[in-house]
Amino acid sequence: MSEAKPQDGSTVKGYRTLTAGDIERMNRLKGVSRHFCSLFDTE
Task: Please state the rounded mean pLDDT for residues 9-38.
Answer: 84
Residue 22 is assigned to a structural domain of this protein: yes
Residue 40 is assigned to a structural domain of this protein: yes
Contacts of 26 (CB under 8 A, 6+ apart): 18
What's the structural domain count of the chain?
1
Residue 3 is assigned to a structural domain of this protein: no
Radius of gyration of the chain (CA): 18
Residue 5 is assigned to a structural domain of this protein: no
Question: What is the percentage of the chain residues whose pLDDT exceeds 70?
Answer: 67
Q: What is the pTM of this model?
A: 0.47
Residue 1 is assigned to a structural domain of this protein: no
Three-state SS at 34: helix
Q: How far apart are CA 16 and CA 12, in angstroms?
A: 10
